[in-house]
């Protein structure tokens, strides 16, 4: 496959076979994200050498027999990187105990097991990345890498005033947050469309920022992550990232 991360090759593949925590092993092999792996371990679904695993336990892939729901963990596939235009009404998890639609149903023809990077709320649309590469996922999702994520928000309220307030530091849930960029794209009859760029990804962050500034969110769409833009990809459609796009996203510096 032509898609590969910067510096990929023997060094990356050999890293799969070192002793490490189980949630990292599951993440590196494209099973689930680390957070969901932790939940699977707590639910008793993961075993090492026939013994139920515990959270924080380490193992060595290729030496220890690691099973998930009774199925042995197989060797990892080549790294896969996908961009999906997530429609409204889908949740960004691999499985859902409530039977709701997940984004995985939109990529059924992908022959490699991947998982979403981060989360978009059920009613949030737009750019969602999926991969089987745990290190890549961490680079995109972790705030320390400062990957810029831009959203288009259609709001109800005084759009010009909302933009002014959005540019200031905002206190949410006992922490301070400040958007990297805020601009007014369009004025509507009852509000406007605002573009907001952030580098964090806290739970319902945009909704909470809007609420503090007196705005009611009508629609919310993520249109870019780092250098990657959603472009003309239609809701529900996906595509593989190019090698150039992957390399660009691997940069550990925020955009200027």
pLDDT of residue 10: 39
What average pLDDT does the segment 159-180 reach?
Answer: 93
pLDDT of residue 254: 40
Residue spans of the domains in the chain: they are 17-72, 81-144+228-249, 148-225
pLDDT of residue 76: 57
pLDDT of residue 181: 96
pLDDT of residue 218: 96
Phi and psi at residue 181, to the nearest 5°: -145, 145
CATH superfamily name and code, 17-72: RNA-binding S4 domain (3.10.290.10)
Q: Any catalytic annotation for residue 121?
A: yes
Q: What is the pLDDT of residues 114-156, one digit of tens each?
A: 889 988 999 999 999 999 887 788 888 887 888 999 999 999 9
Mean pLDDT over each residue of the chain, to the nearest integer: 85
Q: What is the pLDDT of residues 18-34, one digit of tens each?
A: 688 888 888 766 666 77
- The active-site residue out of 64, 77, 121, 158 is 121
Contact 227, 129 (CB under 8 A): no
For the 81-144+228-249 domain, the top CATH level (class) is alpha beta
Arch. (CATH architecture) of 148-225:
2-Layer Sandwich (3.30)
What average pLDDT does the segment 97-124 reach?
Answer: 89
Q: How far is CA 163 from CA 95, 159, 198, 253, in A?
A: 37, 6, 14, 26
């Amino acid at each position: 496959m032509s898609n590969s991360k910067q510096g990929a090759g023997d060094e990356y593949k050999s890293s799969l076979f070192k002793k490490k925590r189980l949630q990292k092993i599951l993440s590196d092999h494209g099973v689930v994200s680390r957070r969901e792996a932790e939940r699977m371990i707590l639910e008793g679904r993961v075993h090492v050498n026939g013994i139920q695993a515990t959270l924080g336990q380490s193992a060595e892939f290729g030496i220890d027999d690691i099973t998930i729901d009774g199925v042995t963990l197989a060797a990892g596939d080549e790294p896969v990187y996908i961009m999906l235009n997530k429609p409204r009404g889908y949740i960004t998890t691999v499985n859902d105990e409530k039977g709701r639609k997940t984004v995985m149903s939109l990529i059924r023809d992908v022959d490699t097991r991947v998982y979403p990077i981060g989360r978009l709320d059920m009613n949030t649309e737009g750019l969602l990345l999926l991969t089987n590469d745990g290190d890549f996922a961490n680079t995109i999702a972790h705030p320390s890498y400062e990957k810029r994520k831009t959203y288009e928000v259609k709001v109800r309220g005084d759009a010009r005033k909302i933009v002014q307030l959005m540019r200031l530091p905002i206190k949410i849930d006992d922490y301070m947050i400040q958007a990297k960029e805020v601009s007014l794209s369009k004025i509507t009859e009852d509000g406007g469309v605002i573009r907001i760029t952030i580098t964090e990804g806290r739970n319902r962050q945009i909704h909470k920022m809007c609420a503090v500034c007196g705005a009611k969110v009508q629609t919310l769409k993520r249109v870019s992550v780092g250098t990657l833009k959603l472009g003309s990809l239609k809701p529900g459609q996906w595509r593989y990232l190019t090698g150039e796009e992957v390399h660009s996203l691997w940069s550990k510096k925020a955009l200027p």
